[in-house]
Amino acid sequence: MSDQNPFHIAQQQFDTAADILGLHENIRAVLRVPQRELTVNFPVKLDNGSTRMFTGYRIQHNLGRGPVKGGIRYHPAVDIDEVRALAMWMTWKCALVNIPYGGAKGGVIVDPKQLSMGELERLTRRFATEISILLGPERDIPAPDVGTNAQVMAWIMDTISMHRGYTVPAVITGKPINVGGSLGRVEATGRGVSLVVREAVRRLGGDLEGLRVVVQGFGNVGSTAAYLLDQMGCKVVGVADATSAYCRPSGLDIGAMRTYTDRHSFRLLEGYHAPGVERISGAELLELDCDVLIPAALENQINERNAGRIKAKLIVEGANGPTTPDADNILAERGVTVVPDILANAGGVIVSYFEWVQGLQEFFWDEQDVNEKLERIIIGAFDHVWATAYARKLPLRTAAYLLSVQRVADANVTRGVYP
Shared domain check, 127 and 253: no
Angle, vertex CA 172, rays to CA 171 and CA 176, nearest 5: 130
Helix (H) or strand (E) holding 257: helix 254-262
Q: Do 208 and 257 share a structural domain?
A: yes
Q: What is the pLDDT of residue 298?
A: 87
| Per-residue pLDDT at 267 | 76
Within 13 Å, how many C-alpha atoms sit on residue 61's CB side?
36
Asked if residue 244 and residue 167 are part of one domain, the reply reads no
Q: What confidence score (pLDDT) does residue 4 get? A: 85
293 and 215 within one domain: yes
Give pTM, 2 decimals: 0.95
pLDDT for 418: 93
Residues 88 and 164 in one domain: yes
* Among 208, 279, 198, residue whose Cα is nearest residue 239: 279
DSSP letter for 247, please.
E
Residue 378: burial class (beta carbons within 10 Å; 0-12, 13-18, 19+): buried
Residue 85 has a pLDDT of 96
Residue 7 lies in a domain: no
Instruction: Tell me which DSSP letter residue 114 carries.
Output: G
Number of helices (H), then strands (E), belonging to the chain: the values are: 14, 12
Establish if 393 belongs to a structural domain. no
Domain presence at residue 329 = yes
- The terminus-to-terminus CA distance of the chain in angstroms comes to 44
pLDDT averaged over 10-residue windows placed end to end, the chain, 419 residues: 82 96 97 98 98 98 98 97 97 98 98 96 98 98 94 98 97 96 95 98 96 96 97 97 94 95 82 94 96 94 96 97 95 97 97 97 96 98 98 97 98 95
Same domain, 155 and 121: yes
Q: Comparing C-alpha atoms, which of 202, 98, 169 is closest to residue 358?
A: 169
Q: Quick one: angle between helices 80-96 and 347-361, nearest 10?
A: 80
Q: Are 148 and 195 contained in the same domain?
A: no
Residues 164 and 254 in one domain: no
CA distance 241 to 335: 28
Q: Which domain holds residue 73?
A: 33-176
- Work out whether strand 235-240 and strand 245-247 pair parallel, antiparallel, or are unpaired: antiparallel
Within a domain: 295: yes
Domain contains 405 = no
Residues 232 and 337 in one domain: yes
Residues annotated as catalytic are 105
Domain at 59, CATH number: 3.40.50.10860
* Within a domain: 50: yes
What is the total count of domains within the chain?
2
pLDDT of residue 2: 53
Q: Is residue 417 in a domain? A: no
d(CA 394, CA 412): 26
Count of other CB atoms within 10 angstroms of residue 162: 14
Backbone angles phi and psi of 96, in degrees to 5: -65, -40
> What's residue 268's pLDDT?
84
Nearest Cα to 353, choosing from 200, 221, 189, 229? 189
Same domain, 159 and 279: no
In a shared domain, residues 252 and 169: no
E-state strands within 184-301? 212-216, 235-240, 245-247, 278-280, 292-295
Q: Are 352 and 142 in contact (CB under 8 A)?
A: no
CATH number at residue 302: 3.40.50.720
Distance in angstroms (rounded) separating the CA atoms of residues 180 and 194:
26
